[in-house]
Amino acid sequence: MRWFNRLWLSTMWLICGSLSAQETHPGDPSALSRQDSLQAMLLTSKAVRQAIGSIQPSLVTIESFGGVSVVQGRIGGIRKQGEGNTTGIIVSPEGHIVTSTFNFIQQPPVITVITSDGTRHVAEMLGRDDTRKICMLKINANREFPKPDLVPLDQLKIGQWAISLGVGYGDVSPAVSVGIISATNRVGGRAIQTDANISPANYGGPLLDIEGRLLGICVPLNPQSQSIGAGVEWYDSGIGFAIPLAGAEELLSSLKQGEQVFPAFLGILAMPNPDGKGVWIEQVVQGSPADQAGILREDVIIEIDGVEVRDMMQLRQILNRLQAGMEIELTLIPDETQEPKTLKLTLDRPPPPKGEPAPLEVPKIR
């Protein structure tokens, strides 16, 4: 809370200075304007502190021990991916916790959680969703845990206050950053975007509204890549993402049951179609869903599930909304016949990029 102490002292000093100026020049309208601005600033600071206080009983610190070696290097010279303490949010009275998959890139075999009362618990990894970069942990204790209030999806508005919160880099007190919601329905409609700083210090932590309700879980995302560490390169850039939990009851229930959700993999390398309609296939990955369905090089994809594929960006947006295991209906124009035909195929999970560990389930601890 050192940040707030400094803000409080600075604000009080400025207010005293403003009031002194007003007493010296009682008729000066600029003195009244300064006083109003500083009082608004003070009220905002108080509201932020209250919002943080309301979420802290549900905020946990996550520790992990051991795991595979990850060689992607350090983030901004600070730390390796998936290394160090991080943050999660309790989402059920039984002790279910949602956090970011980024925190488990090293696939640690031992996970512990420190709750707000300072008690340390052994945690079990349940399910994970690699399309949203969130996962579910579970701790056991002879007590009920508080869970935060969620902001309903219809109340997510561009321009409203957003407060990011998280424990990282060895800090005891959570790091705090204040911004706004800058966009909604990002990354295949899964995420909201904010200019509040989001970095490895708060991946897995909450993004709050000014009332202390949960807007979403802070995660690293990149609309152009589904790589295991994608999105980290944007940290503290003014472009950050959070996954709303409101309306995601079915997903959370699946994660509690240990299910895993992976991004969709079609298995093609596509290019803009020289004729202007659809996307032209330059390469088909051997053994991929596209290969097994009989899609060939130089075929042109024009529709997926009845949605027109106008260009490369449209293809990417469509695939970002899908996930592994889904069956799709794909319409293409074969190079040989030039007559449209429709195929059905089941999307697979993407292979891990070279040098990255496959996203395996963390061993369960009983």
Q: What is the pLDDT of residue 172?
A: 65
- Start-end of H helices in the chain: 2-24, 29-55, 249-256, 289-292, 312-320
Query: What one-character DSSP code corresponds to residue 280?
Result: E
Q: What is the pLDDT of residue 330?
A: 94
Average pLDDT of span 260-284: 89
Burial of 114 (0-12, 13-18, 19+ CB in 10 A): middle
User: Same domain, yes or no, for 238 and 152?
Assistant: yes
Q: What is the pLDDT of residue 293?
A: 93
Q: What is the pLDDT of residue 35?
A: 58
Q: What is the pLDDT of residue 339?
A: 86
User: Same domain, yes or no, for 327 and 227?
Assistant: no
Whose structure tokens read 């124009």? 333
User: Same domain, yes or no, for 34 and 149?
Assistant: no
From 214, 239, 261, give the residue that closes a domain. Answer: 261
Sign, CA torsion 229/234/235/241:
negative
Number of domains in the chain: 3
- In a domain, residue 363? The reply is no
User: Same domain, yes or no, for 45 and 63?
Assistant: no
CATH number at residue 166: 2.40.10.120
User: Same domain, yes or no, for 193 and 177?
Assistant: yes
Q: Which residue has the higher pLDDT, 77 or 65?
A: 65
- In a domain, residue 366? The reply is no
**What does the pLDDT look like over 131-172, one tens digit per residue?**
999 999 999 988 899 999 999 999 999 999 999 998 866 566
- In a domain, residue 99? The reply is yes
Task: Give the confidence band of 45 by pLDDT, cuts at 50, 70, 90.
Answer: confident
SS (H, E, C) 208-265: ECCCCCEEEEEECCECCECCCCCCHHHCCCCCEEEECCCCCHHHHHHHHCCCEECECE
- In a domain, residue 64? The reply is yes
Q: Are 150 and 249 in contact (CB under 8 A)?
A: no
Q: What is the pLDDT of residue 9?
A: 32
User: Same domain, yes or no, for 170 and 123?
Assistant: yes
User: Same domain, yes or no, for 337 and 300?
Assistant: yes
* pLDDT score of 275 more than 70: yes
CATH number at residue 317: 2.30.42.10
Expressed as residue numbers, the domain containing 24 is 2-55
241, 209, 247: which is closest to 225 by C-alpha? 241
User: Same domain, yes or no, for 245 and 257?
Assistant: yes
pTM: 0.76
Supply the DSSP string of 167-187, one letter for each residue.
--TT-SSPEEEEEEEEEEEET
User: Same domain, yes or no, for 187 and 86?
Assistant: yes
User: Same domain, yes or no, for 93 and 135?
Assistant: yes
Task: Give the confidence band of 360 by pLDDT, cuts at 50, 70, 90.
Answer: very low
The C-alpha atoms of residue 359 and residue 90 are separated, in whole angstroms, by 23
How high does pLDDT run on average in the chain? 80
How many Cβ atoms sit within 10 Å of the Cβ of residue 274?
8
Q: What is the pLDDT of residue 15?
A: 32
User: Same domain, yes or no, for 248 and 324?
Assistant: no
The C-alpha atoms of residue 273 and residue 169 are separated, in whole angstroms, by 47
Task: Give the confidence band of 277 by pLDDT, cuts at 50, 70, 90.
Answer: confident
